[in-house]
């Protein structure tokens, strides 16, 4: 899934170049390319499909030239994850009635990619033989309030796969601490594994409006008529996440607890946490910087520009040329609202 804007990564992430196309980690690859390379440990390039907004099709091809046009699913509107997952399932079931699918976001950081691939393969084996909806759950190491949680039934597990008791959206700090103490809660990484038939059965039961709208295109998928059908009918689907539409309602949900080093990189703070720091706790990206008495800050500047920073602590300093943000790192969740304010006050030029 590569259709979002990543507004919490503004001003680096823009409407015309969202964060999935940025070299956020500084290794020369975009997050989308990193995700594609990661899945080559599981399957081949011809079986990797990208769901994105139609305006980003060329960028997808630029970043992943190995895939063909039929592997890029172009959404005409942003309707959250439930419609995009259903669209994918209909399309892949038409290609293969027994299609066994992994759904993953394009903006996650995975540290141990070999262990990640092993977990994915275990899940695919399970879903191949069971009508199950499987999610990878991340063993929490702190009471994080920015993630959803999965409660699993440990005593009913078999070969590392456990039934899910319930999903809980982002909790407050005290609730998150209780989850950690209980020991039977995992972070919801938004990585799902299931057969196309299994998840479409769940849509028919729990999200019938989405199912009915997209089922009308059964004869169009993987034909020249697919895009015109999607352009007309996809915007009519309800805007809802797959978590709310399916996962919080279905009963055949299982999880695999995983520890492969994961972050959803949802905002600057997550990137700061996952990046190597200097002796003063700073993360610095940019070719020319002079710093004096700077601590615990994230500093990003464009190539060829000199940044001089002094006497600050716990700041985000992000210079993208036309937009400079200097803001407390502890308030990085406000970045989305700041982006909206910039658009309201100054138009689309700066977003």
Share of the chain above pLDDT 90, in %: 76
pLDDT (tens digit, 9 = 90+) per residue, 89-131? 999 999 999 999 999 999 888 989 999 999 999 999 999 999 9
Scored b (16 or more CB within 10 A) or e, 213-228 reads bbeebeebbeeeebbe
Six-digit token string for 350: 């700066």
Please tell me whether residue 291 adopts helix, strand or coil conformation.
strand
Phi-psi region of 145 (alpha: psi -120 to 50; beta: other; left: phi over 0): alpha
- Domains of the chain from N-terminus onward: 7-266 (3.90.550.10), 269-350 (no CATH)
pLDDT above 90: residue 183: no
pLDDT (tens digit, 9 = 90+) per residue, 142-182? 888 878 899 999 777 777 899 999 888 888 889 999 998 88
DSSP 235: G
Specify the pairing of strand 133-138 against strand 185-195: antiparallel
Six-digit token string for 231: 């352009």
pLDDT of residue 294: 97
Integer Cα distance of 296 and 328 in angstroms = 11
Q: Could you tell me where the beta strands, DSSP code E, fall in 17-161?
A: 50-53, 72-75, 100-103, 109-110, 133-138, 149-152
Whole-prediction pTM: 0.89
Six-digit token string for 234: 């996809």
Nearest Cα to 102, choosing from 61, 48, 139? 48
Six-digit token string for 74: 């172009």
pLDDT above 90: residue 50: yes
pLDDT (tens digit, 9 = 90+) per residue, 195-237? 999 999 999 999 999 999 999 999 999 999 999 999 999 999 9
Q: Are 84 and 78 in contact (CB under 8 A)?
A: no
DSSP string, 153-217: -GGG-BTTBEEEEEEE-S--HHHHHHHHHHS-EEEEEEEEEEEHHHHHHHHHHH-HHHHHHHHTT
Handedness of CA 202, 208, 212, 214 (dihedral sign): negative
């Amino acid at each position: 899934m590569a259709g979002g804007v990543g507004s919490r990564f503004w001003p680096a992430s823009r409407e015309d170049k969202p964060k999935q196309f940025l070299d956020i980690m500084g290794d020369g690859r975009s997050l989308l390319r990193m995700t594609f390379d990661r899945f080559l440990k599981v399957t081949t390039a011809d079986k990797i499909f990208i769901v994105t907004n139609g305006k980003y099709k060329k960028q997808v091809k630029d970043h992943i030239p190995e895939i063909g046009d039929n592997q890029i699913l172009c959404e005409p509107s942003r309707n959250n994850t439930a419609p995009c997952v259903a669209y994918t399932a209909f399309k892949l079931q038409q290609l293969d009635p027994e299609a066994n699918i992994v759904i993953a976001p394009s903006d996650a950081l995975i540290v141990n990619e070999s262990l990640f691939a092993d977990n994915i393969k275990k899940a695919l084996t399970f879903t191949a033989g069971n009508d199950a909806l499987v999610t990878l759950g991340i063993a929490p190491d702190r009471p994080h309030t920015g993630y959803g949680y999965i409660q699993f039934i440990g005593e009913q597990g078999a070969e590392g796969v456990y039934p899910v008791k319930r999903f809980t959206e982002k909790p407050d700090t005290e609730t998150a601490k209780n989850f950690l103490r209980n020991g039977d809660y995992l972070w919801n990484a938004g990585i799902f594994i299931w057969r196309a038939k299994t998840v479409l059965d769940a849509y028919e039961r729990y999200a019938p409006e989405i199912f009915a709208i997209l089922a009308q295109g059964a004869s169009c998928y993987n034909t020249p008529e697919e895009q015109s059908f999607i352009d007309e009918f996809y915007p009519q689907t309800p805007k809802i996440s797959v978590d709310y539409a399916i996962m919080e309602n279905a009963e055949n949900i299982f999880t695999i607890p995983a520890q492969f080093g994961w972050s959803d990189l949802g905002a600057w703070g997550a990137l700061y946490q996952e990046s190597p720091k200097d002796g003063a706790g700073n993360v610095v990206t940019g070719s020319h910087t002079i710093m004096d008495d700077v601590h615990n800050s994230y500093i990003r500047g464009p190539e060829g520009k000199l940044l001089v920073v002094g006497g600050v602590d716990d700041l985000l300093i992000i210079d993208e040329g036309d937009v400079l943000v200097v803001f407390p790192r502890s308030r990085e969740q406000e970045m989305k609202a700041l982006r909206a304010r910039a658009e309201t006050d100054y138009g689309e030029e700066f977003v």
